[in-house]
Every structure is written in structure tokens, then in C-alpha cells.
Amino acid sequence: MNTCSAHPPKIAILGYGGMAKYHVDRLRKLGIMEVTGSFDTDPARQDAARADGLIAYPSAETLLADKTIDAVLIATPNDWHCPYAIAAANAGKHIICEKPVAMSVDELDKMEAAAVKNGVLLTVHQNRRWDGDYIAVREIIDSGILGKVFRIDSFVCGANGIPGGWRKLPKAGGGMMLDWGVHMLDQIFDYIKDKPTSLYCRYSHALGFDVDDGFNAHIGFENDLEVNVRVDTNTFTDIPRWIIYGRDGTAVIEDWALNGKITLPVYGTEVEIVGIEAGNGFTKTMAYRPHESVTEREIPKPVVDYDTFYKNFVATITGKEKSCISIDSVRKVMRVMELCTLSDKKNTVLKKELLQL
């Protein structure tokens, strides 16, 4: 390995599909790592790599045998993450693995053991830790403007079904829990340090595939906080990305462009809540608040360095920094996803199983 040389580290890619191309474009713009080549089992993707100016290695073995390469990026369907990570570690390459790191905690343990044995870095592309909406959620809660937060809704609802081939196949690690759940649960467990006390999850199969096309997970935490994480692929209307419920206000982040608002109540004797006709009834409890009884604030627009992950990877393999994605944090989320599957299978709330997290 030449990771101590002045030249940018060289990285090659296993699986040259949509995400690989995204990495190549980002890394070429950033210029801190050189993407040299790739291998894909699909000849059309080998051609695409050549057209993009990369070496198209004839096999994964030849790619891993190339001594000039310092690191490997694994961007295949999920069932290949574990075998390729172990082979890359045994070939002495540092590893960026796409999310989900693996199909199970057991696989992850094997990957980590291979990395430790060979003295290479294993990290996982949990890029959504730098999503502006997620960072805005943290900023809003940390500012205290909402008072004590008692509920967080994190929703991602698409209308395009499950795209592509392998994402529909259980064997390849398809389904929305492993696709989107891994990001959203990662954000929740990255931020919330209270202990989870209960978990209930239901998977949906509205589209008729063997894999889940969405799920609804409810996680209770110590300190009376509840979190709802929901993914759906068959919702034909806009659902807010986040709703944060605090004792002193509510924040809604509509979308990844950070549209939304923070609504705070105005208390005072001059504000009178008047009952309303509601359907075939009357309510004061659920009456809309009059305009003068609330005030609105904008959602903060955090300044985020989207390249932090790549910069940290280079700094870590050159011995200058510690990896910003710990394998322990990745393992915890993998475990939570396994518990979601267990809860769905048993249709039951899990409590004691959370003690091991």
C-alpha cells in the first residue's frame, strides 16, 4: 500500500452501477482520491466503466490483486458486501462499503474480523449523517426552542414502487428496510443517546413482492421519547420528512430542500381558544388555534460539508484522523433492523431484546 505517499490514494470499485457512478463523479470533482478502475458482472457496465475512463478489470480477483490500489469501494447488491469485504481485507485493501454494510450482524462481525486481522480500515457509506434536514432536526432540538421533545416522526414516502431488479429479491438483500431503513435508523441512533426501551415494527407488502416495500417502526426511548420511522414506496401525496413534537412547539420539515416551519404557541389571557364544529360534532380540545395564538419561525439551514465522509476516509487511511463512522454504530443499526424483522414476524413489541443494544 502506498497510503503514506504524497499521491492521492487509489481506489477501485466492485459493482459499477448507479451508486458507483455517483461516487466516481463526486470523487473526481473532489480530487483527493483517484478512482482507477472497477469490475462489474454485467458486460454493459464494464463498457460503461471504460467509457468513463476506468480500467475494467476482468474479475474481482484481478482487481484485488492490483498492488497499486490502496482501497476498494463495494457498491454491489447487498449480498456481495460481505464476501467482497473479506476478500478485499485479505488483499490488504482499505474498504468503503456501501450501506447496508451487510445482510446481518453475523456477516458484519466476519467483515470486521477480516479488517482487524489485516490491519485495514473498514468503513460504511452512511452518507445521510450529513443530510441537511437531519442536521436541522438536531439543531432545532438542541436549541431547546421546542422545549422537551416527546415525539419524532421520520418519514420517507415515495410513489415509485421498488426500483430495479435486485432490490425486489430477498436473496440479494432487497426491501426497503435494508435500503432506506438503514439510513433513517442510523440517523435516529446517531443522534439519540437515550436507551431504547421498546420496539414494534410492521413491514408492508402492498406491492406483492417477497421483500418489504415499506415499514412502520415505533421505538420508545428512556426519558419518554417516542420515535416513529416510516418508509413507504406507494404513497401518492406529499408526507412531511420530519415532524418534531415538543412541549413548547412543533417543527415540520417538509422535504430535503428544508421547506417547513417551526410553530410556537403564544400563551396569554388575551388568546381565547374557541370551540369549533368538527364533522358531526363539536370540539374545543382539537380546535385550530387562532392566528394570534401562534408564532412561526423558519427551519434553520445548516451549512454542511457533504464531502466530510470522503475527506475523513483519506485522513483515516493516512493516519491523520479517526474514522467518523464507527463499526459499533453500524452494528447497532444492523441489530435494530434485525429486531424490526423479529418484531414483524412475531407481531409483538420487543423489550428485553433491546437490552443487548
The distance of closest approach from Cβ of residue 100 to ligand NAD in the complex, given in angstroms and rounded to an integer, is: 6
Q: Which is nearer to ligand NAD, 76 or 233 (CB)?
A: 76
Give backbone dihedrals phi and psi of 285, rounded to 5 degrees, phi first. Answer: -55, -45
Residue at shortest CB range from ligand NAD:
17
The distance of closest approach from Cβ of residue 205 to ligand NAD in the complex, given in angstroms and rounded to an integer, is: 20
- List of residues contacting ligand NAD (CB under 6 A): 14-20, 39-42, 45, 60, 75-78, 80, 98-99, 125, 127, 164, 166, 179
Q: Which is nearer to ligand NAD, 129 or 335 (CB)?
A: 129
Q: Which is nearer to ligand NAD, 22 or 282 (CB)?
A: 22
The distance of closest approach from Cβ of residue 119 to ligand NAD in the complex, given in angstroms and rounded to an integer, is: 25
Q: Which is nearer to ligand NAD, 77 or 260 (CB)?
A: 77
Beta bridge partners of 2: none
How many CB atoms are closer than 10 A to CB 164? 12
> Which residue, among 102, 99, 95, 104, has the nearest Cα to 123 in the 3D structure?
95
Q: Which is nearer to ligand NAD, 40 or 70 (CB)?
A: 40
The distance of closest approach from Cβ of residue 202 to ligand NAD in the complex, given in angstroms and rounded to an integer, is: 22
Give backbone dihedrals phi and psi of 38, rounded to 5 degrees, phi first. Answer: -160, 170
The distance of closest approach from Cβ of residue 222 to ligand NAD in the complex, given in angstroms and rounded to an integer, is: 30
Q: Which is nearer to ligand NAD, 36 or 78 (CB)?
A: 78
Task: Give the C-alpha distances (Å, rounded to integers) separating 37 from 2, 10, 11, 24.
Answer: 17, 9, 8, 10
Q: Which is nearer to ligand NAD, 75 or 149 (CB)?
A: 75
Distance CA 227, CA 243 (A): 10
Q: Which is nearer to ligand NAD, 143 or 326 (CB)?
A: 326
CB 182 within 8 A of CB 100: yes
Distance CA 242, CA 303 (A): 19
Q: Which is nearer to ligand NAD, 84 or 221 (CB)?
A: 84
CB 256 within 8 A of CB 132: yes
The distance of closest approach from Cβ of residue 81 to ligand NAD in the complex, given in angstroms and rounded to an integer, is: 6
The distance of closest approach from Cβ of residue 252 to ligand NAD in the complex, given in angstroms and rounded to an integer, is: 24
Amino acid at 148: K
The distance of closest approach from Cβ of residue 218 to ligand NAD in the complex, given in angstroms and rounded to an integer, is: 24
The distance of closest approach from Cβ of residue 331 to ligand NAD in the complex, given in angstroms and rounded to an integer, is: 17
> Which residue, among 91, 80, 92, 94, has the nearest Cα to 40 in the 3D structure?
80
CB 168 within 8 A of CB 178: no
